Structure formats: structure tokens, C-alpha cells
Structure 1
Amino acid sequence: MNATIRRLLLVVFFCANLVAAQSSAKQYECIQLRVVGVCIWIVCTPFGCDIEVKLKIGHFNPDVMVTVINPQGVDRVEDPKRIDTFNRNHNNLIHQDALAVGHPLTGRIYCPSNTTAASPYFSAQLDIPSWRWGGLDALHPASWVPGLREIGNWPLNRWGHIYPRTGWTIQYAQPKAAAVVAHRVGDIITRDGQPHVYRSILGEPVFVEDNKLTWSPGSLIENSNEEGWWQPTSPKMEQCLLFGENDTLALRGWGGGRVSKTGDYVHALWRPYACCEIDDGALVVIDFMPFPTPVITH
């Protein structure tokens, strides 16, 4: 028993030092692998207690690939029926379709995922009433209150609004318009009961798969990686980032070097999971830190 306790204390001491080392450096790779705690499994009998200690691992999983398609080509279109309450140039108005499917590497890193590779979760062609015309999203306060649910920081650095979650954007930079549309798709599929045709990837808060106890992420939020962030994969493969970066002083702007010749864009949505291996007995979970750490925001 004493030897088991000493081993447990050594594991805790090692992990605590590892956490301190990890938190001292800002790492922005997509996976953000961390030791976030330990799972202690305890089995007691009249002859004593047996303790097994499993590391609790946190990392981001690539859950879905969101493809943003411009069915009208790369040129902007003007729709006189579309009302722009901000009175901006309608030449920046564009409609894009989108498709979300399970990422080929989902659940293949360490922790299981709430998605299945190649499985469809959203198609704009099946969601035409809401994706084209707004549907019930138009009744949401964020659809008509400026600054509510915005990507970027309203009013000085405004990429676009989340609501209504349609394919229409008013954005002069084509890569930003595609990013707004991708985030709208992510916003829909990471929630239950939305007025759209889709399959939710929200999942249970805690589930068991592949002999691992897994903690799921929550619903996607803008301007933070707390529940997920994005990896541009086409037309240019990059590391993960947040949409909404303030590029007002940049020479080329955020869209510089990211323009697609075909008007199509692909973004991978990575979401944070934590898990530990299952063993026999009662469970005690000790968290060394929340995950993700650090939380990155705009």
C-alpha cells in the first residue's frame, strides 16, 4: 500500500512539472497535446486496496472537413432583393454553399471523437430553406442586433455575423467570406435542435469508446479556441487559427495569399477532447489544468 502511494505521488509530481513546462510556452499546433490530469482507479478488498493510475490526456481532434463552395464562380454578385441594414456595397454580396463531412483522421490520434470519417453532417443542398433564406434563424436576436455573435471585434474589426446562418455574406475579402460561412456550419453542427437539416456532432459530455473514458467539447464559439478552432487546408495548408484576426494594419490583410482561384475553400475543424484509459474499480479524477490550455482569443 505504501509503495502504491509513493508511486502515485511520483506520478503526480512528474505530471505537475510537465504541466508547468507546457503552460510556460505558447504552442499553436493544431493538436495541442497535454497531460491534463490523472484518473485513479481504486479496488478495495478486505485485504487492502489496489490503485491504478492512468494519465488523463487532452488534445484536439480533427472532427470535420468543411468545404465552402462558390456556385456562382469567383465573381461577386449583386442581389437587389437582399436588404443590407449596414448600407454597404452590394457588390460584396455573395452566396456560397457548404458541405461538412467527418475528417479522415478523426479519432485516430489518441482520444476518441464524436465524428466518423467521411460521414456527412451538413449539406447546403439539403438545407435550402434555411441556408438560402434564413428560416427561423432570422428571428434570432443576433440576426438584427449589431455586435451580437460577430466574428472579429465589432465595430472596428468585423469579419461578419454568425446569424442568420445562411450562405450569404457581405465581405470584400473572399477568404474571409469563406471563413464566415465555414464557422456558421460549425456553429450549426456543434449544437442540438437547430432549425436546419444536419447531423449534430455535439455528443455526450462524457462517453466511453475504445476502452477510454472521454470528455467531449461543447458547442463552437467564435473568437476563441475553447471549443474548437480551424485549420485551412485548401487552397493552402496551414496550422490552426482563429477567424476574426485584426488585420486592419496589415499590408496584405488576412486574405493575402489565401485566395482560391476556383472560389472553393476547405477548413478542418479541430475540437478539444480529454480522455484516460478505463480500469477496474472506483474512479477519482484529478485535473492539473483545464483543457485547452492556453485558451487563445481574439
Structure 2
Amino acid sequence: MTRSSRLRAGIATILLTTGAPSFALTTATIAASTLSPDCLEYRVVGICFWLRCSSFGCSVETSVKVRHFVPDAVVSSYANTGANPWLEVRPMSPPNATAQAGGDGTTNQHHENNLAKFKNADVIGHPGGYVFSQFASGFGYSCEGAGTAFMPYLLSSLDTLAWRYNLPEMLYPEALTPGEREIGSRSGGNLWGNVYPRGGFLHQSDDYLAGAVVAQRAGDIVTRRGQLHVYQPLLASAKDGYWPAGALLESDSQTGKWQELTPTLSRTCAVFPHRAARVQARQGDYAWALWRPYSCCKREGQVFLGSVDFN
């Protein structure tokens, strides 16, 4: 059996085990989830040109420009403070003097479907870097993402003023203007919620949708610089032959997409809103891997002359 055949067989074995409910999310499970051709979406998109010089003269060299998605972070959206569904990172965000409790405003009566919900959110560097790099290299040259494994980019328990009181974002135009920065649309009948204000409270009768909206808010924050939150930007700097992902935008797969990790482990990625089956978490805790697009090409000279895209 060739190396390529063994790789495909291993992928198939892992993918066959996905899709079942998963209520104890572990690092090993998250790392294995990176073996997804659908999320990777590997493509050759162009050619890069390099100037290579030596004592014998100079020549123009070329290399293939590729584009694919990288799992940068795990975004957890959960009801009870200190109960991140990713077990190994729970100690990163315990309750503190300014961030305790959680949950929503319902008393679990069936007729109560309009009360406020609250979700904590943690954005932590994806731990599957090594598994992913081995997987992606089977397709060809691969790009490096911006995320560092286990690095906390946003812990909402440390972002109390913005996350629990919506300050100052409750006064932003995006928060005050109906129809602005929404996930889905009213006209399409698939409105999940609003991105602003980017905090933990929202009104949503469906707990899964509430978790997804909060995850989108957290992803929106960390993929931008200069936001009035306590966080670290999840961004890389462009350089010769390397074009990193930029700001995440809701419903736009060209800026990022989501792979559900719990309560079900998905083998595909999608943007919110989507029509896939939505399983309600028993404890109100959800997690997704955030995949973002990167383009790059192998350095073949001292000077980067530019690139040409096929489309």
C-alpha cells in the first residue's frame, strides 16, 4: 500500500467514527477532527515568481501558489462559567469575582421561549497542528496558520465589562441599526441573531443557534485588531509568498468556516446559518473549530517578483 493510500485509509477510518454525539471534548478528539478534506478545501490557485541570483548570474524561478483552510482555533460557547466543554482547557477560564454563574433566564417551562440567554466564549489555539500539517502535506505544499496551540486569544471571563455589560458596544451603530451585521436574514426566514453587541447575552429560543451566534461574535473579535475587548488578535502578517487570513465576516465562507466539535463531531465545515441537523447540548455547551483561508507558495529565490492567479 502506498503512502497516499495509507493516508486515505486512515482518513476514512476516522471520518467513519464521526457524527455521533460527543459530550466530553478532548484534545485527542479535536486533533483527529483536522483530517477533513472538506474543511481543508485545498486548491492550486496560481504561480509565484522569484529572482534567484548566484555567482553565476540570476534567473527567474517559479513555484506553485496554493490556497487552503487552516484550523486556527477552537471556539467554545457555553452556559456555565468555568465549564468549557473542552476538558483540558477548563482551568484557563474559571469563575472569578467579576464573572460567575451563567445560563439563561428560563425556568425550563415549555411555554418560556423568549427569555434572555447567556453564553461564555473562549477562543483557544487549535491543538491539532501536527496532525493537520501531516494531513495537508499529503496534498502538496501547505501554508501556516495564525493560531498557536493552546494559546488563549479570548477568555470571556476576563472580558467582563464588554462581555457581560455590552460596554461600549451597545452604543455602536451596528448594535442600534436593525438589519446590520446579522447572521442570516429576516427575509430569508433564517435569522439566527445579530453579531453586535459582541457579548454573551442574546434573545434566542433555540439554544444551538444562541451558541453559534456567540461563537461568531467571539471569532469576529479575535480576527480584528484594536477592538475594545480583553483579547489577543488571531492574525498573521503578510510576507513574500504568504497571504494570511483577514477579518472573519458572518455568512462569508471566503473569510472562514466552522466545523462543529460538540455536541456532535462533524466531518464537514459550513458557515452560519446552515441547514445541517442541529443537536441541542445537554448542558448548553458547544464548540466549533474555526477554519480560515491562507494562500502561500514555496520560496524559490531571494527576491519575490509577484504572483499570478489562475482565476
Counterparts in 2 of 1:115-264, with a 5 A limit?
115-155=147-187, 156-204=189-237, 206-207=238-239, 213-238=241-266, 239-245=268-274, 256-264=277-285
Higher normalized contact order (CA 8 Å, seq sep 6+, divided by chain length): 2
Deviating runs (4+, > 6 A) in structure 1? 72-75
Match of 1:104 among 117, 123, 127: 127
In the alignment, does 2:291 pair up with 1:270?
yes
Displacement of 1:194 in angstroms is: 0.4
Root-mean-square deviation (Å): 2.6
Q: Residue 103 of structure 1 aligns to which amino acid in structure 2?
A: H
Q: For structure 1, list consecutive stretches of 5 or more residues without a partner in the other structure.
A: 1-26, 80-88, 248-253, 291-298
Displacement of 1:228 in angstroms is: 0.6
CA distance in 1, matches of 2:161, 2:145: 30
Q: Aligned residues, how many? A: 242
Q: Measured at CA, do residues 151 and 276 of structure 1 come closer, stay the same or move farther in structure 2, by a change above 3 Å?
A: same
Return the TM-score normalized by structure 2.
0.71
Match of 1:77 among 99, 105, 115: 105
Q: Measured at CA, do residues 242 and 74 of structure 1 come closer, stay the same or move farther in structure 2, by a change above 3 Å?
A: same
Question: What CA deviation, in whole Å up to 9, does each residue of 1:61-91 have, x standing for no partner?
Answer: 0000011111189974159xxxxxxxxx773
Higher radius of gyration, 1 or 2 = 1
Question: What CA deviation, in whole Å up to 9, does each residue of 1:81-106 have, x standing for no partner?
Answer: xxxxxxxx773411110111000124
Question: What CA deviation, in whole Å up to 9, does each residue of 1:112-154 have, x standing for no partner?
Answer: 1111011110001000110001011112111111100000023
2:80/2:103 contact within 8 Å kept: no
Q: Residue 210 of structure 2 aligns to which amino acid in structure 1?
A: A
In structure 2, the residue corresponding to 1:41 is in which secondary structure?
strand
Q: Measured at CA, do residues 219 and 134 of structure 1 come closer, stay the same or move farther in structure 2, by a change above 3 Å?
A: same
2:52/2:300 contact within 8 Å kept: no
Q: For structure 2, list consecutive stretches of 5 or more residues without a partner in the other structure.
A: 1-35, 82-100, 137-141
Displacement of 1:57 in angstroms is: 1.2
2:308 corresponding residue in structure 1: 287
1:100/1:185 contact within 8 Å kept: yes
Please identify, of 274-283 and 174-183, the stretch whose mean Cα deviation from structure 2 is larger: 274-283
Return the TM-score normalized by structure 1.
0.74
> Which has more strand, going by share of residues?
1
Displacement of 1:285 in angstroms is: 3.0
Q: Percent sequence identity over matched residues?
A: 36
Counterparts in 2 of 1:37-116, with a 5 A limit?
37-43=46-52, 49-71=58-80, 76-77=104-105, 91-106=114-129, 108=133, 109=136, 110-116=142-148
CA distance in 2, matches of 1:29, 1:194: 32
2:260/2:289 contact within 8 Å kept: yes
